[in-house]
């Protein structure tokens, strides 16, 4: 077998465990020097491949690569840069193959969500049609948990854990002061199209009166009257009400709730929206209850300090499996997580064909949302519960801060003319 070089890139929104997948790819590749020569990483994702800004991962010592397990966000840089159809972006696709050819790259590992799975598939197709031998393997990653065919997506379990833990904590805060202070607390969570993260907030409580009392999913139309009535009833019964709201909830006419309530300030600037302040404003305006709200934004997807051990293990495993698949001759595939038992939770890595994954979003099943639309069902709990299990804290320095690694990210000498990004 010839020795081929490999290319790895991170794509789209980063997570607290995407670097663990990078670690899985790199450590596994290093075990096969007879098959894999150099492993390059794209600086800022696929853009690094287009502009030939390659990083030599071989310059990183083993300890630095191992430390990727405990370092959040994208160690090589990621990007939002979607390659569309082969027709529309043919120039870019061809450039990728050119760069791969120039650097002897026979393995392409692309670590991202639905869009990058699509790109990965198209790169594989084009390389075949151009007669260039390339094995393209997609490594799943997305906090949105919306990839099809896999039981869950690396990155999601840690956001889910962050969300459930934070909600449990702030609910205790609200509960302890409800008589004289905040009665309604709204926590906004990510997930513009799918309510997986919102659903994970539901794990914070168990009993009927535990927080969160109301969950708002993008899968359900937002009905302000019904919402306000539920909040009112909850405050009456429990004394306070904690709401977890997905950023993506919409009114019946399709307007995002965040946008509907965006206003203009005295300076003429558009108020940057947010579901949480919009809902808090509604509650205060209509129910005259003291409200507070939180919007963790990027904090939720970078919170490596509270990552899920299950999620971390799976992120590592898909990275490792991607390399093993490549060495076994696979192409246009993605390692996926298959759940084999709920209790005790067991999972294994299987393989899915990329043509069945690209551009298909997995939204929250109807059976996961209660009939009233405001909470998760037992089926949702059974699915979600294992994903937040286990702790995997990063090492802490004597300064009390997590020790996150910064790689050297040494540049590889360019061999091709410059390429202008469209």
Helix 114-129 vs helix 90-102: crossing angle, to nearest 10:
70
Residues near a copy of itself (CB under 8 A), total? 90
Rg (CA), the chain: 23
Give me the least distance between CB of 164 and a copy of itself, in Å please.
6
What are 200's two structure tokens?
Answer: 């994970």
276 and 294 Cβ atoms separated by less than 8 Å:
yes
Per CB under 8 A, 284 contacts a copy of itself:
yes
Tell me which stretch binds a copy of itself (CB under 8 A): 62-70, 107-115, 139-147, 271-279: 271-279
Per CB under 8 A, 83 contacts a copy of itself:
no
Residue from 134, 278, 326, 336 touching a copy of itself (CB under 8 A): that is: 278
Is the dihedral angle over the CA atoms 408, 110, 24, 15 positive or is it negative?
positive
Residue from 281, 349, 370, 377 touching a copy of itself (CB under 8 A): that is: 281
Question: 233-253: string of b/e by CB count within 10 Å (b at 16+)?
Answer: ebbeebebbbbbbbbbbbeee
* Best CA proximity match to 120, nearest among 10, 5, 2: 10
Candidates 115, 118, 144, 146; catalytic one:
144
Tell me which stretch binds a copy of itself (CB under 8 A): 79-87, 94-102, 124-132, 332-340: 79-87
Per CB under 8 A, 79 contacts a copy of itself:
yes
The residues in 227-266 that bind a copy of itself, with binding defined as CB under 8 A, are 260-266
160 and 203 Cβ atoms separated by less than 8 Å:
yes
Residue from 139, 152, 174, 214 touching a copy of itself (CB under 8 A): that is: 174
Q: Helix (H, G, I), strand (E, B), or coil: what is residue 136? A: strand
The residues in 380-399 that bind a copy of itself, with binding defined as CB under 8 A, are 385, 388-391, 393, 396, 398-399
For a copy of itself, which is the closer residue by CB, 87 or 179?
179
Give me the least distance between CB of 351 and a copy of itself, in Å please.
28
329 and 135 Cβ atoms separated by less than 8 Å:
yes
Per CB under 8 A, 80 contacts a copy of itself:
yes
* Phi and psi torsions of 184, nearest 5°: -130, 130
Give me the least distance between CB of 77 and a copy of itself, in Å please.
5
Query: ∠ at Cα 194 (191, 197), nearest 5°?
Result: 50
Give me the least distance between CB of 10 and a copy of itself, in Å please.
8
Question: How many C-beta neighbours within 10 Å does residue 35 have?
Answer: 17
* Best CA proximity match to 304, nearest among 72, 128, 84: 72
Per CB under 8 A, 169 contacts a copy of itself:
yes
The residues in 306-365 that bind a copy of itself, with binding defined as CB under 8 A, are 306, 308-310
Give me the least distance between CB of 233 and a copy of itself, in Å please.
21
Tell me which stretch binds a copy of itself (CB under 8 A): 34-42, 211-219, 291-299, 354-362: 291-299
Per CB under 8 A, 299 contacts a copy of itself:
yes
Residue from 8, 293, 374, 383 touching a copy of itself (CB under 8 A): that is: 293
185 and 171 Cβ atoms separated by less than 8 Å:
yes
For a copy of itself, which is the closer residue by CB, 326 or 337?
337
Per CB under 8 A, 81 contacts a copy of itself:
yes
Residue 264 DSSP code: B
Per CB under 8 A, 96 contacts a copy of itself:
no
Give catalytic status of residue 144 as yes or no: yes
For a copy of itself, which is the closer residue by CB, 116 or 124?
116
186 and 167 Cβ atoms separated by less than 8 Å:
no
Q: How far is CA 72 from CA 14, 154, 318, 408, in A?
A: 8, 13, 17, 16
Per CB under 8 A, 42 contacts a copy of itself:
no
The catalytic site residues sit at: 144
């Amino acid at each position: 077998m010839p020795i081929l070089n490999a290319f790895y890139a991170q794509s789209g929104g980063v997570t607290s465990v995407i670097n663990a997948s990078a670690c899985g790819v790199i450590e596994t590749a290093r075990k096969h020097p007879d098959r894999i020569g150099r492993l390059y990483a794209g600086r800022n994702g696929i853009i690094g491949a287009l502009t030939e800004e390659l990083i030599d991962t071989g310059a990183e010592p083993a300890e630095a690569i191992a430390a990727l397990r405990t370092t959040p966000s994208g160690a090589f840089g990621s990007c939002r840069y979607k390659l569309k159809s082969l027709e529309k972006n043919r120039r870019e696709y061809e450039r990728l193959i050119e760069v791969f050819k120039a650097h002897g790259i026979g393995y392409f590992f692309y670590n991202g969500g639905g869009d990058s799975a699509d790109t990965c598939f198209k790169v594989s197709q084009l390389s075949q049609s151009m007669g260039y031998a390339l094995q393209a393997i997609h490594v799943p990653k997305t906090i949105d948990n919306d990839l099809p065919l896999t039981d869950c997506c690396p990155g999601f379990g840690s956001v889910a854990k962050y969300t459930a833990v934070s909600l449990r904590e702030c609910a205790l805060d609200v509960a302890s002061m409800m008589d004289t202070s905040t009665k309604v607390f709204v926590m906004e969570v990510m997930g513009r199209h799918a309510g997986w993260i919102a659903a994970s907030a539901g794990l914070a409580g168990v009993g009927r009166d535990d927080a969160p009392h109301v969950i708002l999913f993008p899968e359900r139309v937002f009905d302000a009257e019904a919402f306000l009535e539920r909040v009112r009833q909850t405050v009456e019964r429990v004394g306070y009400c904690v709401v977890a709201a997905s950023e993506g909830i919409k009114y019946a006419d399709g307007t995002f709730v965040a946008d509907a309530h965006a206003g203009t300030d005295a300076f003429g600037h558009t108020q940057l929206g947010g579901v949480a302040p919009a809902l808090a404003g509604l509650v205060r305006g209509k129910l005259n209850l003291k409200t507070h709200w939180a919007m963790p934004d990027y904090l939720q997807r970078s919170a490596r300090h509270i990552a899920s051990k299950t999620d971390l293990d799976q992120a590592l495993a898909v990275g490792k499996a991607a390399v093993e698949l490549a060495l076994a001759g696979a192409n246009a595939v993605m390692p996926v997580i298959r759940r084999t038992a709920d209790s005790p939770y067991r999972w294994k890595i299987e393989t899915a064909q990329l043509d069945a994954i690209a551009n298909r979003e997995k939204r929250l099943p109807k059976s996961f949302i209660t009939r009233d639309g405001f909470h998760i069902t037992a089926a949702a709990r059974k699915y979600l519960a294992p994903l937040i299990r286990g702790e995997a804290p990063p090492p802490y320095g004597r300064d009390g801060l997590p020790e996150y690694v910064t790689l050297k990210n040494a540049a590889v000498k360019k061999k091709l003319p410059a390429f202008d990004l469209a």
